Amino acid sequence: MLDVREDEAAKEIRVSGRISSTYQKDDLMSGLKGAFGYMTIVDELEVDRQLPEVTWGNRVNDFLLPFLDVAKDAHFQYDKGVTLIEGTVKERKQINQIGNMAVYVMEAADSRGISNRVKVNEAGNDPEKK
């Protein structure tokens, strides 16, 4: 299970769960730190070599970095083949773009589905919102 939660107010991204590869963990964490250096990255992710390796592990930053950049209070979770994405965006078209990116990166033989719960910000053009 991999869980990535962004808290805009706290300027924090929390990464938790378990992944099978040290390389994939290091790649994920360095990608987040490089793209979101202005936020605190809380690393609670454990490496468990007993877990089967996921096929998307080397590509997850291709989805996560743009998703976290566009969505406010973004939440990404992968658990037993199901990918959950939540957050708030400015425009409806971004929901489809995010969903398409998730399918491109996360779809694999072990995938059981993607739940896209991203919503449009009702505040519209508020410059304080992403």
What pLDDT does residue 127 have? 40
What pLDDT does residue 129 have? 45
- Mean per-residue pLDDT for 9-13? 97
- All structural domains of the chain with their residue ranges: 2-120
Residue 86 reports pLDDT greater than 90: yes
- Mean per-residue pLDDT for 84-99? 95
Q: Specify the pTM.
A: 0.89
What pLDDT does residue 109 have? 61
Calculate the average pLDDT of the chain: 90
85 Cβ contact partners less than 8 Å away, ≥ 6 residues apart: 67, 74, 75, 76, 77, 98, 99, 102, 114, 115, 116, 117, 118
Rg (CA), the chain: 14
**Tens digit of pLDDT for each residue in 26-83?**
999 999 999 999 999 999 999 999 988 887 888 899 999 999 999 999 999 999 889 9
| Residue among 46, 56, 58, 55 nearest 19 (CA) | 46
- Mean per-residue pLDDT for 112-125? 85
What pLDDT does residue 124 have? 56
| Topology classification of domain 2-120 | hypothetical protein tt1634 (3.40.1520)
Distance CA 129, CA 114 (A): 25
Distance CA 43, CA 1 (A): 14
What pLDDT does residue 57 have? 80
